[in-house]
Amino acid sequence: MSPLTPPVANDRALVAAVLARAPGAFESLVRAYQRLCWHIIDRMVRHPEDTRELCQETFLRVHRHLPQYRFESALGTWIGQVAYSVARRHLERKRVPLVEPGAGDERDVLEHIAGDFDLEAASADAELVAALHAEIEALAPVQRMILTLYHLDETPIAEIAAITGFPEGSIKSYLFRARAKLRARLEARIGGST
């Protein structure tokens, strides 16, 4: 898996080059962080045109405010914060709930998990994974985005917390609930098809 963000040591040189208006410097910065930006926005917005527009808006903001960036956080975290903020405002304007309503008690999720059944005897894994993708799409935007950053990009919980502004405990809780819910849905699906 390719790393989500380039080495932090390169950030200063990259920022200095952009501020000095070196040819191709900003394009390099976009190329280095477009994956992070895309993942955050795509997983929250789930609309190709909006994702492209909002990613573009994110990098234009980054370009405009780069002179004020003071390296207080990693460049990737800072860009991630801008991307998250842009996507969050977009969803708020559309009145889309950012997190699942009533996301508070983990026990109600665990109650829906079956005690035991033979997964090996169930449908083929590929079909189950496809079904799980549909369940993932049905999750709330923030949970979907956190799951992708954690699982696909291997972003540490502390960095996800820095990007989103949620406490680390909440990030952990969102991960836990979403995965337990997906497991419960998986078992319900297998149970219903057998």
Partner 1 sequence: MTESHDLDEREWSLQENALRAESDGAAPDRDAAANRYRLVVRALREPRLEPIPRGFAAAVAARAGASAAPPDRLEAWLQHALLGVLAIAALGAVAAFGGSMLVTIAVAGRGVGLSAAAGACVAVSFALDLLTRRKARSRLNF
Q: Where are the alpha helices (DSSP H) in 94-140?
A: 107-110, 125-137
59 interacts with partner 1 by CB under 8 A:
yes
Binding-site string for partner 1 from residue 69 to residue 88, where x marks contact by CB under 8 A and - marks none = ------------xx--xx--
Q: For partner 1, which is the closer residue by CB, 12 or 65?
A: 65
Which residues, including other chains, have CB under 8 Å from residue 132's CB and lie 6 or more apart? 182, 185, 186
Binding residue for partner 1, selected from 8, 16, 31, 193, defined by CB under 8 A: 31
Question: Can you tell me which of 19, 71, 105, 158 binds partner 1, judged by CB under 8 A?
Answer: 105
Are 159 and 150 within 8 A, CB to CB? no
Site membership for partner 1, residue 119 (CB under 8 A): yes
Tell which positions 3-22 bind partner 1, by CB under 8 A: none
**Paired tokens of 174:** 């969102």
Nearer Cβ to partner 1 (32/96) = 32
Residue 47 phi, psi dihedral angles, 5° rounding? -150, 115
Whether the CB-CB separation of 174 and 143 falls below 8 Å is answered with: yes
Q: Is 138 in the site for partner 1 (CB under 8 A)?
A: no
Judged on CB neighbours under 10 Å (0-12, 13-18, 19+), 192 is exposed
Place of tokens 């990007």: 163
Query: Using CB under 8 A as the criterion, which residues of the chain lie in contact with partner 1 when the complex forms?
Result: 24, 26-28, 30-31, 34-35, 38-39, 42-43, 48, 51-52, 55-56, 59-61, 63-65, 68, 81-82, 85-86, 103-107, 110, 113, 116-120, 125, 128-129, 132-133, 136-137, 147-148, 151-152, 166-170, 172-177, 179-180, 182-183, 186-187
